[in-house]
């Protein structure tokens, strides 16, 4: 059997070794591979694994032997799921491996910005010491108000860390999560996004990307935030109108921005919507690695291999995600 794994820059030695141990011919492909080259590689593949590379209808049409598409990660926006469903090819992701891990990463960005750690760290490296001066003045998270856009598992983990750990007031905007579920997680449900934003000292994004959430934070929403508010996004880059974000940062309306995700990845120092934010003390640009810990990668490897073996063994593929796009599948899947 043949398996193709895209995005080989993301090293997954346990996944690769596990497949080869089963006698699978594994081909790994680089980020940025063209649609045509990918279609040629998957033409005789039984299994396709992807992380970031778009899996388009022409690619799926070329894969005449394909038994399943496994996203070794969470987001499925880059996969043409209707095209796969039309062929009876199951699509599965690994939704649970990094819920706590990503929430920890979001909190790390938030506290680093609140305490001005990046710029103080750079200053002490260049100057040897810095004295308490107004320019280094940080702020407390305890007693502040954190707003969450999205109150799924990662958002609720973030709420627990902030509320129970730092006595932060946590507000949540999520039309798909009810008041009782939010309350159990220590979140006050707010139905009006703009009303929530006006109360936020900190804002963290934790929702899926779809037509309803694309640019959910745009120029009007950024204007609603308290002056000096800190914004963190570890979810999907296109949740934010990046041109509006750059404008708000350059105008000094935000107290800090921490980003781990971008509308175009990889992020580049030039010719990217967010290129103007490079080198700023009030911005942390992280390379989509808040998920990347030893423990999370071990869980990812175990779950990915389990799904791959289901595909290769001809068994129904277990869908653990509650994403309606995956739950709409009716062939060769079983729902957990």
Catalytic residue annotation: 236, 265, 288
* 86: phi then psi, degrees, rounded to nearest 5: -65, -25
Strands (E) located in 66-168: 68-71, 91-92, 145-149
* 125: phi then psi, degrees, rounded to nearest 5: -65, -35
Q: Return the closest-CA partner of residue 248 out of 199, 216, 207, 283.
A: 283
What six digits make up the tokens of 132?
């308490």
Burial profile 127-154: b = 16 or more Cβ within 10 angstroms, e = fewer: eeeeeeeeeeeeeebeebbbbbbbbbbb
Which H or E element spans position 167?
A: none
Q: Round to whole Å and give the CA distance between 200 and 225.
A: 6
Residues comprising the chain, all counted: 336
Give the N- to C-terminal CA distance of the chain in Å, as an integer: 27
Return the DSSP state at 134.
G
Q: Return the closest-CA partner of residue 241 out of 260, 276, 269, 213.
A: 213
- CB contact at 8 A, 304 and 296: no
- CB contact at 8 A, 146 and 171: yes
């Amino acid at each position: 059997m043949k398996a193709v794994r895209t995005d080989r820059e993301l090293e997954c030695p346990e996944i690769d070794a596990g497949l080869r141990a089963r006698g699978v011919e594994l081909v790994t492909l680089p980020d940025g591979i063209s649609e045509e080259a990918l279609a040629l590689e998957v033409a005789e593949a039984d299994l396709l694994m992807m992380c970031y590379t778009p899996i388009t209808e022409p690619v799926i049409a070329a894969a005449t032997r394909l038994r399943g598409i496994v996203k070794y990660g969470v987001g499925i926006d880059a996969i043409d799921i209707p095209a796969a469903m039309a062929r009876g090819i199951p699509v599965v992701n690994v939704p649970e491996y990094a819920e706590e891990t990503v929430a920890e990463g979001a909190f790390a960005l938030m506290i680093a910005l609140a305490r001005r750690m990046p710029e103080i760290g750079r200053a002490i490296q260049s100057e040897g010491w810095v004295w308490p001066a107004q320019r280094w003045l940080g702020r407390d998270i305890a007693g502040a108000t954190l707003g969450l856009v999205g109150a799924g598992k990662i958002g609720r983990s973030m709420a627990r860390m902030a509320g129970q750990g730092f006595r932060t007031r946590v507000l949540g905007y999520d039309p798909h999560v009810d008041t009782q579920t939010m309350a159990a997680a220590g979140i006050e449900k707010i139905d009006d996004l703009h009303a929530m934003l006006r109360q936020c000292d900190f804002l963290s994004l934790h929702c899926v990307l779809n037509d309803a959430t694309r640019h959910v934070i745009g120029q009007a929403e950024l204007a609603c935030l308290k002056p000096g508010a800190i914004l963190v996004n570890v979810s999907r880059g296109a949740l934010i109108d990046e041109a509006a974000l750059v404008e708000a940062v350059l105008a000094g309306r935000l107290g800090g921005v921490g980003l781990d995700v971008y509308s175009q990845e990889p992020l580049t120092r030039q010719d990217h919507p967010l290129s103007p934010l490079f080198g700023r003390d009030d911005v942390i640009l992280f390379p989509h690695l808040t998920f990347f810990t030893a423990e999370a990668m071990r869980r990812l490897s175990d779950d990915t291999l389990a799904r791959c073996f289901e595909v290769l063994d001809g068994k129904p593929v277990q869908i653990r995600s509650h994403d309606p796009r995956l739950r709409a599948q009716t062939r060769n899947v079983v729902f957990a």
